[in-house]
Amino acid sequence: MRRGYLSDHFAAVAAKRLAVVDTITAQSNQHEVTGSKVLRRILGDTTRSAPRSGPDTRFHATYVWLGGEQEALSEEGRLSWYDSRANDPTRSAEWRLYYQGNPVTELMEPGDSLFVARRPDDHILFIVTPDGTDIQSQLVWLFGLSEQPSLAFEQREITRDSGGEVDFAARFILDELGIEAAEPEADLLDSLIERFGLKFPKTRVFSELARTSLPEISAQDDPDEVLLSWMEREELMFRRLERRIVADRIANGFAGPDGADVDGFLKFSLSVQNTRKARVGLALENHLEAIFLAHDVRYARGAETENKNKPDFLFPGQDQYRDPSFPVELLTMLGSKSTLKDRWRQVLSEAERIPVKHLATLSPGLSENQTDEMRAKSLQLVVPRGLHETYRNTQRAWLMDMRAFLAMVRTRQRA
C-alpha cells in the first residue's frame, strides 16, 4: 500500500520541557520562550529586531493544547522570533520566541512539553502537552525525539529519508493534531466505494470489502500485519466516502425558511463526528472476529455476563462462562477499543469470573502512567506488533501481540 511521508506535513520540529520563565505564571508573565541554536535551525536568524521596537520574523501559528483533563484546544494566531539584544551590538544575540496570550498558552505550566513544529509552508504548530500523557509519548515517537524532553530544546529535521511513511500509527497521531493525511491511492479507493453512491453501507459490509480488497495478505500468516492493514484500508475507504457525502450535503446548502439553517448544520456536523467514532470501533470488532474465524478459535461476541455486562469477546463461549464447573483458568475475555484515553477501565467489570482481562487496542504509544496502572489492575494490553515500536522499551516486553494472544487462547481451548 502506497503512503505519504511525514515530510509532506512537517519540515522540522523542536521540543523542550517548559521552565517557569517560559510560562504565564505569577513568577513569569513575559510570554516568551528562550531560544537556542537548536531553535534557530528551525526558525532562522534573518533579523535582529525586537517585536516592540521594529520588524521581526513573524509566523502564522496554530496553538494546540492536547492531553490531560482539559479538552483539546486550538487557537489561530502568530508567533514572533527576535533577538532581544538587537539594539546592543556589543553583546551576542539572544533569541526569543514571543507567543500570544490565548486559552492555550494560559494553560501552560512548568513541566509541560512544548513542540514547535514547522510545516513545509512555514506555518508553525505550537503544541503543548502535560507531562506523562499519551499524546506526549505519541508526539515524541512521531517526531523521533528523545523519550523525555529536557529543559533545553531538542531539534530534528524531517526529510523523506528520515521522516518515514505515514503509516497507521502516524495517521492516528496526525488526526489528533487535526491534520488529515493525504490519500495516495485515491483512484483505487474511489473504485472500491463507487457502488455505495452517497450512502454509508452497514459496517460489516464495509469491513468485508476492506478485507477482500487485500487478497495478498492472510490472517493465518500474520494476524498482526493483517489487522493493521484491514483497519487502514477500511479507514481510508470510509474517509473517502465521507468526503463525498459531506461535499454533496454542503453543496446543497443549509438554508431554512428564515435564512441559514445553523441548527441543521450543527446537527449534521455532529452526526459526522459520531459516525466516525462509532464505525471505527465496530470495524475493529469485525476484523478481530475474522481473525478468530481464520484461526478456528471458539468465541462468543457480545455474550452477556454479570449485571448484563457484554464483553466484546468471550472465549470459548457464554455457556462455558456460566458453567460454575468450567475451569476459570481456561476462560478468556477480550475487550476491543480502537482508542483508549481513560475508557479502558470500563472492561474491568465485564467478566467477574476472569481475574486477568485482555484488551485489544490500536492506540499507539500510550504513556507509562497508563500501562503501569493497567498492570496494577490486572489488565493485559493486546496491541498489533507493528505498533509496539511506538511504545518505550520498558513497556514493550509487557505488551502482547495478536499472534501471542491467539496462541494463548488455542492452548487453553486444547486443555
From first CA to last CA, the distance across the chain in angstroms is 40
Beta strands in 84-172 (DSSP E): 95-99, 113-118, 124-129, 154-157
CA 402 from centroid of its chain's CA atoms: 20
* Rounded Cα–Cα distance for residues 383 and 340 (Å): 12
CA atoms within 13 A on the CB side of 34: 12
DSSP H or E run through 14: strand 12-17
Phi, psi for residue 329 in degrees, rounded to 5 = -70, -10
Neighbours of 358 (CB within 10 A): 22
Q: Is 321 a catalytic residue?
A: yes
Give the list of residues 6+ apart from residue 250 with CB closer than 8 angstroms, or none. Answer: none
Compute the Cα dihedral for 279, 133, 391, 408 and give only its sign: negative
Catalytic residue, chosen from 63, 98, 299, 321, is 321
3-state secondary structure of 350: coil
Q: Which residues does the annotation mark as catalytic? A: 321
